[in-house]
Amino acid sequence: MTATLPPLDPLLHQPARTQLVAYLSGRGEATFSELKRVLGVTDGNLGAHLGKLVEAGYLATGEATGGARAQTVYSLTESGRAALAEYVARLSALMALSAGGEPASETSLAADGQS
Amino acid sequence: MKPHQEQFLAIQSMLAAGHRCVHLERHSLLLIGGVGGFLSVVTEWFITDTRFPNTDQRGIALLVWLAFWLGGMALVEHWMTRRARTRRAETLPFAQAQVTRAWWMLLSVGCLGSCAMFFYGGGGMIYALWTVLLGLGIYFYGLFSRPLIEWIGLAAILLGVAGLAAGLPYGATRWLNASCFAIGMPLAGWLNARFGDSGLPGRVAVLALWLAVVATPPLLIARYATTTVPSATPVYSVATVGLGEQVLRLEAGSRVPLRVDLDSPILTVAPDAGLDLTLTRPVEVALRDGRPDGRYRIGTGAWHTIHDGILQLRIDRIQPRLADGRAEVLTHASLDGAEFKGDTP
């Protein structure tokens, strides 16, 4: 018997973007500098990932107050939070299928992860 | 490990990192440690019964003194933390703001508790209470920060409780409290910066090091601190007491009346009222210009000062009753110390 694998959100199925969204889910909001430090990525790389997530409506931007210079802060939107929850649920299902000995194909994971 | 498992663990790890986004800054630990240690050591030299003879005044003076230093420290610490966050281009997490409020609340409870002991008693455990409050504050930070901070908070709580449970004298709990603040906090900041990301075995080793460095100095001080021994030869009668340093020896069997000076809206005490007490062991009291200077020893034991908490007076029961057709109040008190149990006269 062959199980049908749940499709994974291609936008989140990229390691840096998944980690970015997961971090913001716990942290609430973070500046570009903090995200860069936590994820250990370059400015250009982080900017590209943030742009895609903002464009998809997963992240919202705002302005941090209190400092000498204004900072853009990023936070997870409701749709971003729901997408992460859905992604984790599907990943869990995939792991359960895999652990149960079902012939879970991982080719889609590898292919989707290269965006 | 399969790719989706790695992905799952990465999500878990980043979620935890997002939740544990509170930074207990090194300057915070230095400020808390420095001011707390300073207060532990200096407060009893500043708030004295000669400077503030009235107990109520002394309680209020202590409240103002603690509020000034701890309030000032809290404001400076908050300002420096915001500045550090701004420099790193980070926002202050909501959790950190809440924990800071909890920390200020703990400091306020400590200040009010210290003041309240002048009105309601319980002064013998005030330093242990401050050590536990410090531990609780650090533990709160640790819940949202690195686990090592959490562990150090628990260790400070443990030290405060263990000090009381082990029957450490008041003076020793004071030094333990000073050490937890002045040595423990800067050391925690340094260890957290160097070994904060260590695994379980590393954290256990770091915690053991922290406990050893913090607990050893106060225990050594308590063990080896000695009261200056009076050099004078003992005199045996109050009538022969004169100027300079002298030692008055009161033999076992000497009568030492207890004079009662009671402030009460419902009772008055005759000025000459007293309770006849008789010494069961000889006591030597050091005198300076004819007045006791606070040093004493029982039998041939070590010399102590009256403020080191070796000798403790506890009034544990006040019971009204009727006896011989009269109303009376029975009060049970104990005056002893672990050191004197079994001491031969």
Q: What parts of chain A have a pLDDT lower than 70?
A: 1-6, 65-69, 100-115
Q: Say if the Cβ atoms of A34 and B4 lie within 8 Å.
A: no
Q: Say if the Cβ atoms of A30 and B3 lie within 8 Å.
A: no
B303 near B292, Cβ under 8 Å?
Answer: no
* pLDDT tens, residue by residue, B267-279: 888 888 888 889 9
Distance in angstroms (rounded) separating the CA atoms of residues A6 and B179: 58
Q: How high is the pLDDT of residue B188?
A: 95
Closest CA to B33 of B167, B145, B115, B156: B156
| Cβ-nearest to A68 among B11, B86, B88 | B86
**How far is B137 from chain A, CA to nearest CA, in Å?**
21
Q: Say if the Cβ atoms of B91 and A73 lie within 8 Å.
A: yes
For the segment B276-290, the average pLDDT, to the nearest whole number, is 88
Phi and psi torsions of A114, nearest 5°: -100, 30
B252 near B282, Cβ under 8 Å?
Answer: yes
- What type of residue sits at position B221? I
Q: Say if the Cβ atoms of B8 and A67 lie within 8 Å.
A: no
Give residues with Cβ within 8 angstroms of B18, minimum separation 6. Answer: A22, A23, A24, A25, A26, A27, A28
For the segment B323-341, the average pLDDT, to the nearest whole number, is 79
A chain contacts of residue B94, beta-carbon cutoff 8 Å: 28
Q: Say if the Cβ atoms of B11 and A19 lie within 8 Å.
A: yes
Q: Which residue of A has its CA nearest to B94?
A: A28
The secondary structure element, H or E, covering residue B291 is strand B291-298
| Cβ-nearest to B2 among A23, A25, A98 | A98
Q: Say if the Cβ atoms of A67 and B86 lie within 8 Å.
A: yes
* Residue whose structure tokens are 């009893």: B44
Burial (CB < 10 A; 0-12, 13-18, 19+), residue B83, is middle
Distance in angstroms (rounded) separating the CA atoms of residues B208 and B195: 13
Share of chain B above pLDDT 70, in %: 96
B127 CA to centre of own chain: 1
Convert A24-87 into a string of H (helix), E (strand) and C (coil): HHHHCEEEHHHHHHHHCCCHHHHHHHHHHHHHCCCEEEEEECCCCCCEEEEEECHHHHHHHHHH
B181 near B134, Cβ under 8 Å?
Answer: yes
Q: Which residue of B has its CA nearest to A27?
A: B18
Question: Which two structure tokens, joined as six digits, stand for B34?
Answer: 């420095």
* Residue whose structure tokens are 């003194």: B65
Question: pTM surpassing 0.95?
Answer: no
ipTM of the complex: 0.77
